[in-house]
Amino acid sequence: SQTIHQWPATLVQPVGSPLSLECTVEGTSNPNLYWYRQAAGRGLQLLFYSIGIDQISSEVPQNLSASRPQDRQFILSSKKLLLSDSGFYLCAWNRGGAGTDTQYFGPGTRLTVL
């Protein structure tokens, strides 16, 4: 069966510090991968998606970036965090291809920027 992991589960970082959140998927190959952010009391905002290694699409211009160094690894980074980066970050995967549009979500990382 497939599983998706995110770490860390929680993170408190000062403004201006770097960020690295990691997401890995097990039990599947060549998945589509997604990063979402959920601000407090808000809906989900798609940040990045990837349909393959080193193929990253950005949905919202910001100080965040994403990388996919391996097939089942998706990393969200920032060089300098802003207060507005606080939120709940969710990684998701999907099998890819036509007729496979269900996304499966990880447990999330709660980021607080102080």
Partner 1 sequence: GNSVTQMEGPVTLSEEAFLTINCTYTATGYPSLFWYVQYPGEGLQLLLKATKADDKGSNKGFEATYRKETTSFHLEKGSVQVSDSAVYFCALSDQSGANNLFFGTGTRLTVIP
Contact status: 78 vs partner 1 (CB under 8 A): no
Which of 17, 63, 84, 100 touches partner 1 by CB under 8 A?
A: 100
C-beta atoms surrounding 3 within 10 Å: 12
Least Å distance, CB 52 to partner 1, is 10
Question: What tokens does 49 get?
Answer: 């998606």
C-beta atoms surrounding 38 within 10 Å: 15
Contact status: 51 vs partner 1 (CB under 8 A): yes
Which of 43, 61, 69, 83 touches partner 1 by CB under 8 A?
A: 43
Contact status: 56 vs partner 1 (CB under 8 A): no
**Residues binding partner 1: number (CB under 8 A):** 27
Partners of 33 in the β-ladder: 50, 93
Locate tokens 């990382």: which residue?
109
Comparing CA positions, the residue from 82, 103, 102, 112 lying closest to residue 23 is: 103
Q: Measure the CA–CA gap between 4 and 91, rounded to whole angstroms.
A: 8
Q: Among 11-19, 38-46, 69-77, 78-86, which window interacts with partner 1 (CB under 8 A)?
A: 38-46
Residues that bind partner 1 (CB under 8 A): 6, 32, 34, 42-44, 46, 49, 51, 57, 90, 92, 94, 96-108, 110
